[in-house]
Amino acid sequence: MPPEARTHAPAEGEPGWATGLRKLYNSVVDEPLPDSFRDLLKKLDGSDDD
């Protein structure tokens, strides 16, 4: 088991890795958004799809 998964007590009846899985997922959610995504969103407009 990864050490990070042991740092939080799992919810009752839940294996320790379940916390690790959420931490893994949330570690990406919490990453700063690369500029490329904001640039892409800005470029999307109504003229790209007739």
Applying CB under 8 A, which residues contact another protein? 1-2, 4-5, 15-18, 20-31, 33-34, 36-38, 40-41, 44-49
**3-state secondary structure (DSSP) of residue 10:** coil
**In angstroms, rounded to a whole number, what is the distance separating the alpha carbons of residues 20 and 26?**
10
CA dihedral angle for residue 7, residue 11, residue 17, residue 19, rounded to 10 degrees: -60
Pick between residue 12 and residue 34 the one whose CB is nearest to another protein: 34
Q: Minimum CB separation from another protein for residue 45, in Å?
A: 7
Q: Minimum CB separation from another protein for residue 38, in Å?
A: 8
